[in-house]
Every structure is written in structure tokens, then in C-alpha cells.
């Protein structure tokens, strides 16, 4: 087997191992998130028993209310644009890659193409329609 073939076999082995590890991680994370949601439902049920005002939320916990308080000042009246950024837990992303190797039948050089993807998983119970999503490794 030539060096490129050996390298390709090694790359596929690493990719397969990494894919299985990522799949196990996602399965475990999904189970943890489901347990967290079940916990929130149970808390909601307990609250509705203890405090009748919470009964309208059914078996789930009432939504969290978040407030932002800020004070703005300017030397004179003007227009301003304010951007709010929100970070939540139970949302994650992982990179994923496809490697395509082409061996030309008529000679020439082997070609390799690396395609990257982002796998996004969110179980925040928040609506994510029409949101600007920024992915970061930081």
C-alpha cells in the first residue's frame, strides 16, 4: 500500500472513531437535557400544587422572566441603535467534517476535499425562528 493509501486509511479510522465519540457525546447530552426538562416539569407540578397561581402553566415550569435594565445618556437628543445579545444554556454546536478523496483513473494527482458542517442542538424550550446565530469556539 502506498503512503497516500496508508494515510487515507489512518484518516478514515480517526474519522470513524471521532464520529462515534461525538455521537456518544450527543446521545449523553440529549439524555441530560431530557432529564433537565423532566426536572423542570416536576418543579412546575410541585409549584402548581403549592401555589395555585402556577397552575396555568400545566405540568411544566413557568417561563423564566428576564429583565435588562440600562441607562443611556447623550449630550443632546439623538437616535441610537441598541443590540441585545443573549446566551442560553442547553444549546450547543459541534463541528463535523467530510473528507472526499478522488483518485483520477487517467493519471494525475490525487485530490482531497474537506467539507465542514456545524451540527446545532438546542433544547432550551425557546423559539429560535428568525434568529441570527453566531457559532464560536471561544
**The pLDDT of residue 124 is above 70:** yes
pLDDT tens for residues 25-67? 888 888 888 888 888 888 777 766 665 555 555 545 555 566 7
* SS3 label, residue 74: coil
In a domain? residue 77: no
* Whether the Cβ atoms of residue 44 and residue 61 lie closer than 8 Å to each other: yes
- Decide: pTM greater than 0.75: no
In a domain? residue 74: no
In a domain? residue 104: yes
What's residue 14's pLDDT? 81
In a domain? residue 7: yes
What's residue 89's pLDDT? 78
Domain count of the fold of the chain: 1
What's residue 76's pLDDT? 92
39: domain range?
A: 3-63+86-122
* Whether the Cβ atoms of residue 82 and residue 61 lie closer than 8 Å to each other: no
In a domain? residue 15: yes
In a domain? residue 21: yes
Closest by alpha carbon to 93, among 130, 64, 136, 50?
136
pLDDT tens for residues 60-81? 555 556 677 888 888 999 998 8
In a domain? residue 69: no
What's residue 132's pLDDT? 82
pLDDT tens for residues 81-90? 888 777 777 8
Amino acid at each position: 500500500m502506498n503512503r497516500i493509501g496508508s494515510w487515507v486509511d489512518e484518516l478514515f479510522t480517526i474519522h470513524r472513531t471521532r464520529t462515534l465519540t461525538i455521537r456518544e457525546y450527543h446521545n449523553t447530552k440529549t439524555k441530560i437535557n431530557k432529564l433537565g426538562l423532566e426536572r423542570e416539569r416536576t418543579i412546575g407540578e410541585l409549584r402548581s400544587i403549592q401555589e395555585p397561581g402556577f397552575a396555568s402553566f400545566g405540568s411544566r415550569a413557568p417561563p423564566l422572566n428576564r429583565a435588562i435594565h440600562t441607562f443611556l445618556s447623550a449630550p443632546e437628543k439623538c437616535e441610537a441603535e441598541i443590540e441585545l445579545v443573549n446566551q442560553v444554556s442547553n444549546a450547543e454546536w459541534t463541528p463535523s467534517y467530510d473528507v472526499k478523496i478522488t483518485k483520477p483513473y487517467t493519471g494525475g494527482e490525487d485530490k482531497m476535499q474537506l467539507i465542514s458542517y456545524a451540527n446545532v442542538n438546542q433544547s432550551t424550550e425557546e423559539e429560535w425562528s428568525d434568529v441570527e446565530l453566531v457559532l464560536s469556539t471561544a
